[in-house]
Structure 1
Amino acid sequence: MIQFEHVTYSYNKTPFIEDMNLCFEDGKITAVIGPNGCGKSTVIKLASRLLKPHSGRILLHGVEISSIRRKSFAREISVLLQNGHIPDMTVEQAVLSGRYPHQSFLKPATKEDHLMIDQAIDMADCKVLREKRMCQLSGGECQRVFLAMILAQDTHIIFLDEPTTYLDINVSYEMMELIRDMNQKVGKTVIMVLHDMNLALNYADNIILMNKGRIKGSNLVTDQRLHERIGETFGVKIQSFSEEDESRFYFVKR
């Protein structure tokens, strides 16, 4: 479990995130949403140690993350940021690089490494891409490979910063299905920043609404009061409807 306790972060000495208290629920998909520049990506970077809070504490299973060794932390938490660097290597080599927290320096990959690579490539639907070079792939294919790298890293907690950015709408939904599979089939805790509220409402278990560096709402995706706060923040209306199997869907409209 990741927990923020009275976390403050400033840009150029100007307070941006102030006294933030936040807890990400274990075993669930949590979507962080909010207007551009509200601090969504900053929260991801703070929780993954890419940024350091100016005050307050961020805890992983009750231990302050700044005190955890780098490799130990990388066995617990993986992160996929926007506009990730495309490595000059094959898909298989890229996915193998995700095993670095579990490998010893200069030692070859083990049977367990190769097993995890095979499973990750299979789950992320990258089999036909395995021998291709990363530079030959489309944006959607690259995102699937990055997800395979995270699966190969085999962390319980996964942070994703805008995983559907620049993807076509059909590819975005394919990506969200893969993310839901990571949660439901492999038991991963997923925390993701999303700009598409329809995707957030239909694939997340919990929603965290941010605005101007502050938490404006945090609850189950079904919570009506949260829907009202989202509507006030974005000037939209959220409609829900059910099919015969009682599955609930959400649609955001102006």
Structure 2
Amino acid sequence: MIECVHLDAGYGGRAVLQDVTLGFEPGAVTVLLGPNGCGKTTLLKTVLGLLEPVAGRVLSDGDDLRSLTPAEAARRAAYMPQNRPVPRIEARRMVLHGRFPYLTFPRQYRREDYAAADAALAAAGAAELAGRMMDTLSGGQRQKVYLAMALAQQAPTILMDEPTTWLDPKHQLEVMATARRLAAEGRAVGLVSHELSLALRTADRVALLAGGRLTALGTPEQVWQSGALERAFGVKIGRSLAENGWHYYYL
């Protein structure tokens, strides 16, 4: 499990977030919510080792993250960032980059790497894009390929920053269904989202960031009932119960 303990996170020694203690639990989808600029991406980058903690610790299966090599850390947690450069390579080749933690000298892809890439493309709903060049894909299609790249890493934890960006509603639901499936398989899933209704329907746990702090942590029901969401976003958030028994949240 990836967890941060009394973590201060930020840039250049200046903390954007202070005293955050949070774990991404196996078998659960943890959604990070909060207003723009509250530090959601900063937190993800810090727990992945892409940023140094200002204070506190990040633990990966009980080991201090700083004690791990990049390959060791990548075998434990995969990352789908919000923005990536768009190279002129085939989508399948892009997804194969997710296999880098498993490559040994002379860094040649093996049969199992290609199989993992193809399985990841299928799981992300992007199998038909395998032979397409990345710079010819739409924004939504590229998001699917980037998700496949993270899945190809086959890490027990997967962290996604705005994975539904550029996607139409149908494909947003598919991405969130993938997150639920990964959690059902026992993986720890963490994601950042601005799609409040969809995020709250998907989450097992909500971690709400506001004012440089973790202000609420619990089930969607608990966080909604606390009023913390409305205070953080400054809007009224309602809830309705559908015939299928699901709660739907709306502005």
Q: TM bucket by the smaller chain? A: over 0.9
Give, in angstroms, the shift of residue 238 of structure 1.
Answer: 2.8
Instruction: Decide whether aligned partners of structure 1 residues 115 and 15 sit closer, same or farther in structure 2, where only a CA change above 3 A counts.
Output: closer
What secondary structure is seen at the aligned counterpart in 2 of 1:128? Answer: helix
In the alignment, what sits opposite 2:216?
217
Using the alignment, how far apart are the partners of 2:229 and 2:243 within structure 1? 24
- Asked if residue 88 in structure 1 is aligned to residue 88 in structure 2, the reply is yes
Shift of 1:200: 1.0
| Aligned mates of 2:79, 2:153 — CA distance in 1 | 10
Identity over aligned pairs, percent: 34
For residues 85 and 225 of structure 2, what CA distance do their matches in structure 1 show? 36
Structure 2 residue 131 is matched with structure 1 residue 131: yes
Please show how residues 59-70 of structure 1 align to structure 2 within 5 Å. 59-70=59-70
Q: Deviation digits for residues 161-213 of structure 1, max 9, x if unmatched?
A: 111223333332232223323333x4321101111111110111110011021
Whole-angstrom CA distance in 2 between matches of 1:143 and 1:240: 30
State the distance in 1 between where 2:136 and 2:170 align: 20
Q: Distance in 1 between matches of 2:169 and 2:179?
A: 15
SS of 2:227's partner is helix
Compared CA separation, residues 72 and 32, structure 1 to 2 (3 A): same
Structure 1 residue 249 and structure 2 residue 247: aligned? yes
Matched position secondary structure for 1:113: helix
Change in Cα spacing, 1:107 to 1:21, as seen in structure 2 (3 Å) is: closer
Q: How many Å separate the matches in 2 of 1:16 and 1:93?
A: 36
- SS, match of residue 104 in structure 1: coil
2:231 matched residue in structure 1: 232
- Please list every run of 5 or more consecutive structure 2 residues that lacks an aligned counterpart in the other structure: none
The equivalences for 1:186-201 within 5 A come to 186-201=185-200
> How far is 1:225 from its partner?
5.6
For 1:139 and 1:9, how far apart are their aligned partners in 2?
30
* 3-state SS of paired residue (1:105): coil
Asked if 2 retains the 8 angstrom alpha-carbon contact of 1:17 and 1:213, the reply is yes
Q: Deviations 1:113-141 (Å, cap 9, x if unpaired)?
A: 12212211221122211111111111111
Match in the other structure for 1:18: 18
Aligned equivalents of 1:226 and 1:4: distance in 2? 26
Q: 8 Å contact 2:35–2:210 — kept in the other structure?
A: yes
Deviates more, 1:52-61 or 1:16-25: 16-25
Measured after TM superposition, the shift of residue 224 of structure 1 is 5.7
Q: What displacement does 1:14 show?
A: 4.1
1:178 match: 178
Conserved? CA contact 1:4–1:21, under 8 Å:
yes
Q: Judge conservation of contact 1:5–1:22 (CA < 8 Å) in 2.
A: yes
User: Is 1:206 matched with 2:189?
Assistant: no
Number of equivalences = 250
Output the TM-score relative to the length of structure 2: 0.92
Q: What value does the CA root-mean-square deviation take over the aligned residues?
A: 1.8
Q: More displaced, 16-25 or 64-73?
A: 16-25
Structure 1 distance, partners of 2:205, 2:90, is 36
What's the counterpart of residue 50 of structure 1?
Answer: 50
Name the CA distance, whole Å, in 2 between partners of 1:33 and 1:172: 17
Structure 1 residues not aligned, in runs of 5+: none
| Aligned residue in 2 for 1:30 | 30
Q: Does structure 1 retain, via aligned residues, the 8 Å contact 2:6–2:20?
A: yes
